[in-house]
Amino acid sequence: MTLDAPLASIADERFVSLTTFRKNGEGVSTPVWIARDGDALIVTTPDGTGKVKRLRNDGRVELRPCDRMGKVADGAPTVGARAEIVDTDQARSSQERIFLAKYRLEYRIFMFIERLGKKGRKKRVSLRIAA
């Protein structure tokens, strides 16, 4: 299982700007962590977020390397792909292992802070991104 070349070109980025699309076609960009999982890239996000809602209507996404705050450098490449929402215990276990391996302490701290929030531990889903 090999990753499609355009997706492979951004797989090692620390952050990417993930653009999902509203029903009217307007793009909404969000900075996210991304990791490689076999022949696809994955993103982890709480279920019920805007990006998950938009993906239920349109699986088309665009990815661009960015910084932690979502700033995309001039001339950064745009990679078009399709995303699928994966909501299984197996996917959650796998994504946690993959993100811990890539982001280490940063991931642990982020998940800890999320659990401290007023809504407690949020159910997370995987967004599986492929060409």
* Average pLDDT per block of 10 residues along the chain, 131 residues long: 91 97 97 96 94 97 97 97 97 95 94 77 90 92
Distance (Å, rounded) from C-alpha 119 to C-alpha 110?
A: 15
Q: Which amino acid is at 84?
A: E
Query: Is residue 85 within 8 Å of residue 57, measured between CB atoms?
Result: no
Spell out the residues 6+ positions from residue 58 whose beta carbon is closer than 8 angstroms to its own.
20, 21, 23
Domain at 5-130, CATH from 2.30.110.10, 3.40.50.740, 1.10.286.10, 3.40.190.10:
2.30.110.10
pLDDT on residue 21: 98
Q: pTM of the predicted model, to two decimals? A: 0.92
Domain boundaries, the chain: 5-130
Query: Is residue 65 within 8 Å of residue 10, measured between CB atoms?
Result: yes
pLDDT on residue 2: 85
